[in-house]
């Protein structure tokens, strides 16, 4: 129900960049194995948070931050009767006070570049899922004729055991577990 409601909001708002169902199902599966605090950086219309909430066990808490206050308010209405989800209007850094995270979904490219900050927000064994990569058959990964330094850094950082996963022929994500 929550996923459908957030997808409806996405369509109403013309927000075509919500996560793919394949990514959502992965988030729900991962959330089912987690306890503590799960977070989404870059709420958008709340689709990622809905998937996290749909898989989260009792006692797990989902927090999400959306920079656009009007959009955050619309998403807050969708989750108004959902006890385990809080949507905060504000920059992603407003979620730092909820750390450490057991699962973190990052759907904002600029935030992905902040690997040092994000690593410090994770509990040992915590999982970071980074979305919206274009598959590359090369190493280092090449996108639009340039090395994708964000992806390269996440896949080689010694603080994480990371893997790139193909979601579709034109999309991949990175899943990284904090050592």
Contacting residues for 14 by C-beta, under 8 A, at least 6 apart: none
Tell me what pLDDT residue 164 has.
96
Bridge partners, 172 (sequence order): 133, 166
Structural domain spans, the chain: 2-178
Tell me what pLDDT residue 17 has.
67
Residue with token string 């979620």: 95
89 pLDDT tier (thresholds 50, 70, 90): very high
Output the CA–CA distances (angstroms, integers) from residue 166 to 22, 31, 136, in the order listed.
10, 19, 10
Tell me what pLDDT residue 108 has.
82
Q: How far is Cα 91 from Cα 73, in angstroms, rounded to an integer?
A: 14
Q: How far is Cα 66 from Cα 176, in angstroms, rounded to an integer?
A: 23
Domain 2-178: give its CATH architecture. 3-Layer(aba) Sandwich (3.40)
Tell me what pLDDT residue 19 has.
86
Q: Is the pTM of this model over 0.75?
A: yes
R_g (Cα) of the chain, nearest Å: 15
Tell me what pLDDT residue 18 has.
76
49 pLDDT tier (thresholds 50, 70, 90): very high
pLDDT in tens, 123-159: 999 999 999 899 998 899 999 999 999 999 999 999 9
| DSSP run (H or E) holding 75 | helix 69-78
Residue with token string 């057991």: 102
Q: What percent of the chain has pLDDT over 90?
A: 86
Average pLDDT over residues 44-60: 96
């Amino acid at each position: 129900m929550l996923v459908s409601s957030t997808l409806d909001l996405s369509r109403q708002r013309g927000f075509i960049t919500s996560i793919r169902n394949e990514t959502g199902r992965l988030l729900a599966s991962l959330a089912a194995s987690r306890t503590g605090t799960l977070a989404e950086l870059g709420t958008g219309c709340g689709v990622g948070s809905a998937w996290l909430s749909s898989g989260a066990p009792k006692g797990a808490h989902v927090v999400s931050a959306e920079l656009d206050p009007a959009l955050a308010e619309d998403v807050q209405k969708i989750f108004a009767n959902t006890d385990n989800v809080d949507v905060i209007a504000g920059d992603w850094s407003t979620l730092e006070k909820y750390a450490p995270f057991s699962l973190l979904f990052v759907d904002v490219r600029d935030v992905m570049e902040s690997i040092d900050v994000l690593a410090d927000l994770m509990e040992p064994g915590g999982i970071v899922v980074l979305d919206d990569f274009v598959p590359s058959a090369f190493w280092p990964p090449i996108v639009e004729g340039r090395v994708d330094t964000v992806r390269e850094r996440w896949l080689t950082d010694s603080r994480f055991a990371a893997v790139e996963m193909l979601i579709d022929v034109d999309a991949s994500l990175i899943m990284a577990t904090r050592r």
